[in-house]
Amino acid sequence: MDLVLSLIITISLVLPFTGRCNHVYSRSDFPEGFSFGSGASSYQWEGAADEDGRTPSIWDTYVHSRNLDNGDIACDGYHKYKEDVQLMVETGLDAFKFSISWSRLIPNGRGPVNPKGLQFYKNFIQQLVTHGIEPHVTLYHYDHPQALEDEYGGWLNRTIIKDFTAFADVCFREFGSHVKFWTTINEANIFTIGGYNDGITPPGRCSRNCLSGNSSSEPYIVSHNLLLAHASVSRLYRQKYKQHIAYNEQGMQGGSVGFGLFAIGFSPSTSSKDDEIATQRARDFYLGWTLGPLVYGDYPYVMRRTIGSRLPYFSEEESELVKGSSDFVGITHYTAAIVTNVKPYFSGYSDFYSDTGITLTCRNSKH
Ligand SMILES: *[C@@H]1O[C@H](CO)[C@@H](O)[C@H](O)[C@H]1NC(C)=O
Ligand SMILES: *[C@@H]1O[C@H](CO)[C@@H](O)[C@H](O)[C@H]1NC(C)=O
Domains parsed from the chain with CATH numbers: 6-19+35-263+324-333 (3.20.20.80)
Displacement of CA 95 from its chain's centroid (Å): 18
Spatial distance between the Cα atoms of 260 and 153, rounded to a whole number of angstroms: 23
pLDDT score at 318:
98
Spatial distance between the Cα atoms of 342 and 10, rounded to a whole number of angstroms: 14
Residue nearest to atom 11 of ligand 1 (CA): 157
Flag residues of the chain having pLDDT under 50: 1-20, 245-246, 248-249, 366-367
Active-site hit among 46, 149, 174, 187: 187
Spatial distance between the Cα atoms of 204 and 198, rounded to a whole number of angstroms: 8
| Residue 159 near ligand 1, beta carbon < 6 Å | yes
pLDDT score at 27:
87
Q: Where are the alpha helices (DSSP H) in 193-259?
A: 218-236
Residue nearest to atom 7 of ligand 1 (CA): 152
Amino acid at 189: N
Our mutation pick for probing the ligand 2 site, out of 209, 211, 217, counting the most ligand atoms within 8 A of Cβ, is 217
Q: Which ligand is nearest to the CA of 348?
A: 2
Tell me the HSE value of 13 on the side-chain side, using a 13 A CA sphere: 14
pLDDT score at 5:
31
Determine contact, residues 144/152, Cβ cutoff 8 Å.
Answer: no
Determine contact, residues 191/156, Cβ cutoff 8 Å.
Answer: no
pLDDT score at 11:
32
Per the annotation, the verdict on 187 as an active-site residue is: yes
| Residue 173 near ligand 2, beta carbon < 6 Å | no
Spatial distance between the Cα atoms of 113 and 52, rounded to a whole number of angstroms: 12
Element containing residue 316 per DSSP (H, E): helix 316-322
| Residue 148 near ligand 1, beta carbon < 6 Å | no
- Strand arrangement of the beta sheet that strand 181-185 belongs to: 37-39, 95-99, 134-140, 181-185, 256-268, 328-341, 358-362
Determine contact, residues 242/252, Cβ cutoff 8 Å.
Answer: yes
Beta strands in the chain (DSSP E): 37-39, 95-99, 134-140, 181-185, 256-268, 328-341, 358-362
pLDDT score at 302:
97
| CA-to-CA dists, residue 347 to 67, 207, 322, 354, 359, angstroms | 33, 14, 34, 9, 16
Q: Which residues pair with 96 in a beta bridge?
A: 38, 135
Which three-class secondary structure state does DSSP give residue 52?
coil
Element containing residue 289 per DSSP (H, E): helix 289-296
